[in-house]
Amino acid sequence: MSSEQVQKVRRRVLVGRVVSDKMDKTVTVLVERRVKHPLYGKIVIRSTKYHAHVENGVAAQGDLVEIEEGRPVSRTKTWRVTQVVEKARVI
């Protein structure tokens, strides 16, 4: 392939909190977003859970992580953890 044919793929990137790390090489990430209600105008928090692939257990429960969309790894897993933004605080 020539350099003109190679296009940089723009992947979606989200930031969320790990709510489960009980699976092997998989974490469940809760991503919250704020949307305005169409009729009343109030700001409402909507949330979605994503399964993300994580190598060698770098992300644990409670961590704030950045996930990036990629090719499907399994039936439910099409995201992967790119970096841990903030480690969970232990009290």
pLDDT tens track, the chain, 91 positions? 566 666 777 889 999 999 999 999 999 999 999 999 999 999 999 999 999 999 888 999 999 999 999 999 999 999 999 999 999 888 7
Q: Which domains does the chain have, with CATH numbers?
A: 13-86 (2.40.50.140)
Find the radius of gyration of the CA atoms of the chain.
Answer: 16
What residues contact residue 87 under an 8 Å CB cut-off, 6+ apart? 60, 63
Q: What is the pLDDT of residue 28?
A: 98
Side chain identity at residue 83, one-letter code? Q
Q: What is the pTM of this model?
A: 0.84
- For 33-61, letters b (16+ CB in 10 Å) and e give eeeeeeeeeeeeeeeeebbbbbeeeebee
- 87, 46 Cβ separation under 8 angstroms: no
